[in-house]
Amino acid sequence: MKKALFPGTFDPPTLGHLNIIKRACTFCECLYVGVANNTQKTNAIFSVDERVEMLREVTKSLSQVKVTSFPGLVVDYALSHGMDALIRSLRTSSDLDYEFAMALANRRIGDIETNFLMAGEGLGHISSTLIKEIARNGRRLDAFVPKEIEEKVFRRLTSAL
């Protein structure tokens, strides 16, 4: 595949996200990782610019990855930037209903397919919410977020107590 978009909130990026990015790079010539900046999640801990910066840091060795942010609908950004497909991940069956609806809506609006990758082994339990709870209770995050951003994420989450 020439060009694909992996959209998300990434508040913060996790080892689960990085695993999906690396695996998508095995079949995408160019992978855009897009931070949505109009998400309905209004209680973000990190600004959109901080999330973009963290994603750039953890993907700097992956030459085909471009990290960006976008307003509005995923499908509009994807179409205006010539994406061949969207990439999303499924962790457990509880992700399925939401992802199914979004994939169908995006195909209906923009005639664009969504390719799903199953979460990596041992990473299906990770979520941004879980990470926030763990850090707020004083536990380090090495098992959940990339090492390059662990300190920043831990400090921010503990100072947000």
Using CA atoms, how far residue 8 sits from 69, 84, 138, 140, in Å, is 10, 17, 26, 24
Please pick, from the candidates 30, 85, 105, 134, the single residue that binds ligand COA as defined by CB under 6 A: 105
Q: Least distance from C-beta 40 to ligand COA, angstroms? A: 6
Helix (H, G, I), strand (E, B) or coil at 76: helix
Q: Is 9 in the site for ligand COA (CB under 6 A)?
A: yes
Q: How many helices (H) and strands (E) does the chain have?
A: 6, 5
Q: Least distance from C-beta 64 to ligand COA, angstroms? A: 19
Q: Least distance from C-beta 135 to ligand COA, angstroms? A: 13
Residue 38 or residue 47: which is nearer to ligand COA going by CB?
A: 38
Helix (H, G, I), strand (E, B) or coil at 157: helix
Nearest CA to 106 out of 90, 88, 128 is that of 88
Please pick, from the candidates 30, 85, 102, 134, the single residue that binds ligand COA as defined by CB under 6 A: 102
Residue type, 115: N
Contact set for ligand COA, span 139-158 (CB under 6 A): none
φ, ψ for residue 118, nearest 5 deg: -70, 145
- Assess contact for 75 and 106: CB atoms under 8 A: yes
Q: Is 114 in the site for ligand COA (CB under 6 A)?
A: no
Residues of this chain that bind ligand COA (CB under 6 A): 7-10, 14, 16-17, 20, 36, 38-39, 41, 73-74, 89, 91, 102, 105-106, 119, 123, 126-129
